[in-house]
A and B are shown apart, each in its own frame.
Chain A
Amino acid sequence: MAGTRQTTGLRAGPHVPPERAALGCREVTKTFGAITAVDGVSIGIEDGEWVSIVGPNGAGKTTLLNVLNGFYDPDSTDDPDTGRIFLGGEDVTDAKTHDRARAGLGRTFQGLELYEEEDVIENVMAIRAVREHPGLLSALTYLGPGRQLEAENMRRVEEIIDYLELWEHRHSTVASLPLGIQRRVDLARTLALEPDVVLLDEAMSGLTYDEKYDMFRFLADLNEQEGLTMVMIEHDLEVVTDVSERMIVLHQGSVIARGDPDAVVADPEVRRIYTGVDE
């Protein structure tokens, strides 16, 4: 809430002004009936950053992502400067969720939400078809540019599959694959969009140590070599402090601390929430 917000240290405002961030929002609230899932949150993610969002179950992390990518509309406000969402410097509050994806906002899902009956290639190709697709007539006849574009999409998808070391599973039905591989397919699918920013909702949850390590390796490469901006919801504080440059702590829908991961983890208020004394 505005009245209680301090302006320095771990209680400071957004890292960069939301209007100019790679991805940002200003005082966004989302209620479901009597539940306030997200409560006046402002964030500003810088281009190329790797930021983690942490917080107990039900803190509003997934809802925040859903509001950022337009799956949910934020509550409307009287003040035109609040309740706004920005992507790459543009106000996208009124943009449809699919338009935000095409504008460069990718996303993986806590519950996967894959096309389970299709194989790995089809899952990735489906989203690749969003980015580049031939006109109706060219597709129906499979002549001219339609055919070439399909081949080009296939080549690009094979590259992504190679990058994420999914070769051996290319023709496997997704539902038949282990969780660790499914999470990788989910990542591959969103990479087919060639996004600037990716929202990762517990991409490592439920994975074995080895699977986590693999996922971490891919994400680190994507961030460092491809310059992908990443916003990651993650429960494992060890992973968070290891990989992310900044960390945002959500509690009961509000940001209660943000900044350098080591400093945030050491903060008494954050510790209190995580040790459960507060609850």
Chain B
Amino acid sequence: MPCGEYFTSYVSRMGLVRWRTERVAFLLALPIPFALPALLDTGTLSVITQIYIFIVAVLGLNVILGYAGEIVLAQGAFMAIGAYSSARVITTLGPGLLPAVFVGGLVTAVAAVLFGLPSWRVKGFYIAISTLALQFITEWFINAREFSGIHGGPQTTLPSEIGLVGGAVPISSIQDTYYLALVAAALFALVSLNISRTGIGRRFRAVKENDLSSAVLGIDVFRTKLLAYAVGGFMVGVAGGLFGFYIGTLNVGQFGVSLTLEHYLMLLLGGVGRVWGAIIGVSTVVFLQDELRTIIQEVAQGATALEPLFFGAVIIVYLALEPKGIIAGLGQLKEYLRSWPYAY
């Protein structure tokens, strides 16, 4: 019997924070996000709020791309569908922010499943094309004023104060939005971890790695893929709904292909298929972007093209060095420290 900690039951072995040091670190870190609003200026707080919201969106992408292996190029469209349908629910029915965002998630899940239907016959490249079509259809649809009766117009402004449910618990300040986004990010991070450690996530990964043998061994590949589209789509839709409220005025241009690429970069940089990868990837990219914008403003005002250029270069260099993302690099560091100073 090895010395030290060991597991005494299957349930404890499948826990999320399994080791005593992990548990202590987790408990120590837990209050930090809750304390930040008292410590930071509103500008920084706003940046972190966006990080939380994008974490939800990238975790949704991670379910579809990282777990199920489907290359879906409709992230921007999913965010738009979530944002516009939540906004529509808020402006017409006024049930409060949570129910509206929930509906936004559901509508996005349905759209995702519909555009995932071709995965019955095709995969890989063809799914990428089919979902890219959703991107263009969505942009065209929202820009079409004759459909304003459905989507409420390409430019929708949301009230700056909305109750969480009905008129209760009004959300108005950046601090309120910050806490809401924090809870959403934590909740969906937990949901993602649960997917990953239960049969659902295992079937997703099985389908990603070998759809042929999965089918022969009893996995309904098509249904499994659609489930990934639904769950992932729901998460991206919820993020869209929150993002809409966060920015206040919706504009189709904010939900274009560039948003899709940005979220792909975040996930690739952090580590595909890993919850912590998504969190670290989003945080790194958003902070870097913010810093970069400030620097470029100072040294070369108006040179807006520099930002994506520099940014693309950083990411390409990093991925060339560590293709599995930051989380894999950190994993190696952790392994090194764990066995330090005697690696055996």
Contacts and interface: CB of A to CB of B under 8 A. Distances in A.
B11 to A, nearest CB: 5
B216 A122 contact: no
A167 to B, nearest CB: 14
B197 A142 contact: yes
Contact of B199 (A114, A134, A148, A190): A134
B197 A113 contact: no
Given A113-B212, A114-B213, A151-B9, A98 B202 contact: no
Interface stretch (A11-19, A29-37, A101-109): A101-109
B202 A69 contact: no
Interface in B179-234: 191, 194-195, 197-200, 202-203, 205-206, 209-210, 212-221, 227, 231
A188 to B, nearest CB: 12
A103 B31 CA distance: 51
A139 interface: yes
A98 B215 contact: yes
B125 interface: no
Given A101-B216, A131-B218, A193-B218, A139 B210 contact: no
A71 B200 CA distance: 23
Contact of B202 (A101, A109, A113, A126): A126
B15 to A, nearest CB: 10
B318 to A, nearest CB: 21
A61 B10 CA distance: 41
A136 B13 contact: no
B206 A126 contact: yes
B316 interface: no
B14 A115 contact: no
A238 interface: no
A258 interface: no
Given A133-B199, A139-B198, A118 B205 contact: yes
A113 B210 CA distance: 7
Contacts of B195: 139-140
A154 interface: yes
A128 B200 CA distance: 11
Contact of B205 (A109, A115, A131): A115
Nearest to B273: A117
A254 interface: no
Interface residues of B, number: 30
A193 B194 contact: no
A97 interface: yes
Nearest to B198: A139
Contacts of A117: 209
Interface in A145-201: 146-148, 150-155, 189-190, 193
Interface residues of A, number: 44
Nearest to B9: A151
B219 A130 contact: yes
A114 B14 contact: no
Given A109-B213, A142-B198, A130 B191 contact: no
Nearest to A139: B198
Contacts of B10: 150-152, 154-155
A63 to B, nearest CB: 14
A118 to B, nearest CB: 7
Interface in A6-50: none
A97 B199 contact: no
Contacts of A102: 218
B198 A150 contact: yes
Contact of B13 (A69, A125, A154, A190): A154
A107 B216 CA distance: 7
A150 B219 CA distance: 17
A189 B216 CA distance: 12
A222 interface: no
Task: Specify which of B10, B202, B210 lies most central, judged by the most chain A CB atoms within 10 Å of its CB.
Answer: B202
Contacts of B214: 126
Interface string A72-98: 000000000000000000000000111
B14 A101 contact: no
A256 interface: no
A141 interface: yes
A130 B220 CA distance: 9
A25 B200 CA distance: 34
The 10 closest A-B pairs by CB, nearest first: A129-B199, A101-B218, A113-B213, A133-B199, A130-B218, A151-B10, A126-B206, A115-B209, A126-B202, A142-B194
14 contacts: A71-B216, A106-B217, A116-B210, A127-B219, A132-B199, A133-B198, A136-B200, A140-B231, A142-B194, A148-B11, A151-B10, A154-B10, A189-B217, A190-B217
Interface of A: 69, 71, 96-98, 101-102, 106-107, 109, 113-118, 122, 125-134, 136, 139-142, 146-148, 150-155, 189-190, 193
Given A129-B202, A136-B200, 13 more contacts: A98-B220, A107-B217, A113-B212, A114-B213, A116-B209, A126-B203, A126-B205, A126-B206, A130-B199, A139-B195, A140-B195, A140-B231, A190-B217
